[in-house]
Structure 1
Amino acid sequence: MTTDPARPFGRVLTAMVTPFAEDGSIDLAGAQELAAHLVDRQAHDGLVVLGTTGEAPTLADGEQQAVLEAVIDAVGDRATVVAGVGTNDTAHSIENARRAERLGADGLLVVTPYYNKPPQAGLLRHFTAVADATDLPVMLYDIPPRSVVPIEVDTLVRLAEHPRIVAVKDAKSDFGALAWTLARTDLAYYCGEDMVNLPMLALGAVGVVSVVGHLVGPRLAELIAAVESGDLAKAREVNESLLPVYTGVFRTQGVITVKAALRELGLPAGPVRPPLVDATPEQLDQLRTDLAAGGVHLGEVHTR
């Protein structure tokens, strides 16, 4: 677990899928096995549980509690476990945050409320209320493609004054806003959109909250190390090798393709829950081609 305040949640984190059994129920043993695999074999120093890739909107509160407990039990002594607690209801988000704190999470991921399109004053009130509810450090999740509303720079500057709001998972890819926020705050930035890992790291992000990290964690660690050492030529080389992986995973929803890949690798994943649908045979064939071009060969890793 990290103790560096400059990167409060670590460097390489993945937004972990939630493994399901074939009947759609939670696979808690699978969640523990996958979490251990990511930490022990994929160079992760942190995991984000119950995020979008974890299909949190389709999990009941009791299921979310069970998954978080299982992952903390499996890896909580050797990796940072960040719990996704944000919803579009402030009161429910606070309940989720308090539950995560009771269960022993190391931090909270709080997404911009989606669907109800709050103004910036509403975002300020929402994030502050959740941060006030526990003693855990908070990572804001800025993702306008899903929430519609971006967290504006001035709002981020005000939120950064809160002692427990310490980081941002950025899936906005507004590099001007990123640069200004870094210049005006001490927020730790984590790239939340894999295709732009390199430019965001070059601007000053301290790590990634990845989806492709399920498959290429060590190369993400290599990418971050290259940027931190100032070896941008090496960073570009690593990034170029990852481009087919980024493209393959995000041809459709990342959770759909990652679960398909994990199943092929003999790792816990199971199906996705409606309204998502599993990868078609044609999509799986394309994924195999894409990943092979990026050095990931499905069917070669089996740990069960």
Structure 2
Amino acid sequence: MSRKGEMFAGLTVALVTPFRDGKVDEAALRKLVDWQVEQGTNCVSPCGTTGESPTLTHDEHERVIKIVCEQAKGRVRVMAGTGSNSTLEAIRLTKAAKAAGADGALMVAPYYNKPMQDGFYRHFAAVAEACDLPIVLYNIPGRTAKNMEPETICRLAEIPTIVAVKESTGSMDQASQILSGSRLTVLSGDDSLTLPLMSMGGSGVVSVVGNIVPKDVLAMIAAWKAGNIAEAQKSHHKLFPLCRDMLSLATNPIPLKAAMARLGRDTGEVRLPLTPLSEQDQVKLEKTLKTYGLL
């Protein structure tokens, strides 16, 4: 079965948003895009969870997407985060992303207001009707407070411009149901589950750890696609502790920004209500980075 969203296969890096003195550091953001291009990353995704999108003003949100699209210059695809718990706001952001030159929209399921399943369907259908930018659904019930059920996602897959899903439920059963019941491209939303998901027919990952070691993630994906299972497994096991700590020491992207700073790629502070990594967890992070070979 051919998948609808294979233009987003491979490694998409969920970009951090650099902040300096309370403002978006635009020069640092442009450097992040250039670095990912140099590393061979397939796609970058600004204004997602890792990009601290809930803390961005509407103007900042649009500006970050515009900067990333400008800097990408067609050298790397851009999957812009345009989700909202307001359907009208999601439409506005998606239209703005298309105008900026994004290749697709990463749209988180409406959070906090906990729609019924038909509400999820009608929300995404309304955005798809208003703007023809390819849409990647983003299902992360741990943050949105409600699961978008696989039946709903498979129903949404019938809409031509809804092409993929970032699967962040942690449920292999749910991923299997989507893969068997639709033509959507399925991307892992959890770095540690990328290889297991690809073994079932998934096509890649929207990655946090790709901010640090994109070439290693790319190598694992390439090994799997080449049929070199042992090499892919070896890469998975090397990456696993780093992936685990980026998402377990503290709320994403707190550990990631701390790691980037420690590796000489300082992206500034996290924005309130997020707070810096504690001294105790910095010791754990240091050990992980050393064990991996980054220090």
Question: For 1:5 and 1:93, how far apart are their aligned partners in 2?
Answer: 22
Q: Is the 8 A contact 1:6 1:206 kept in 2?
A: no
Match for residue 290 of structure 1 among 284, 288, 291: 288
Match of 2:7, SS?
A: coil
Give the equivalent residue in structure 1 for 2:35: 37
Give the equivalent residue in structure 2 for 1:18: 17
Match for residue 195 of structure 2 among 194, 198, 205: 198
Question: For 1:76 and 1:108, how far apart are their aligned partners in 2?
Answer: 17
Alpha-carbon deviation of 1:183? 1.3
Match of 1:82, SS?
A: strand
Give the equivalent residue in structure 2 for 1:275: 273
Match of 1:254, SS?
A: coil
Question: For 1:99 and 1:27, how far apart are their aligned partners in 2?
Answer: 21
Match of 2:233, SS?
A: helix
Give the equivalent residue in structure 1 for 2:56: 59
Q: Does 1:98 align with 2:103?
A: no
Match of 2:293, SS?
A: coil
Question: For 1:184 and 1:84, how far apart are their aligned partners in 2?
Answer: 25
Structure 1 segments, 4+ long, off by >4 Å, are none
Q: Is the 8 A contact 1:18 1:26 kept in 2?
A: yes
- The amino acid of 1:27's aligned partner reads D
What RMSD in Å do the two structures reach over aligned CA positions? 1.4
Give the equivalent residue in structure 2 for 1:232: 229
Question: For 2:265 and 2:46, how far apart are their aligned partners in 1?
Answer: 17
Match for residue 261 of structure 1 among 243, 259, 262: 259
Match for residue 249 of structure 1 among 229, 246, 249: 246
Question: For 1:52 and 1:113, how far apart are their aligned partners in 2?
Answer: 13
Alpha-carbon deviation of 1:6? 5.2
Equivalences for residues 138-177 of structure 1 within 5 A: 138-177=135-174
* TM-score of the pair, normalised by structure 2: 0.95
The alignment of Structure 1 onto Structure 2 pairs a total of residues equal to: 292
Q: Deviations over 1:153-177 (max 9, x none)?
A: 2111210110000000000122112
Residue identity over aligned pairs, in percent, reads 38
In the alignment, structure 2 segments of 5+ residues that lack a partner are: none
Alpha-carbon deviation of 1:268? 4.2
Give the equivalent residue in structure 2 for 1:300: none
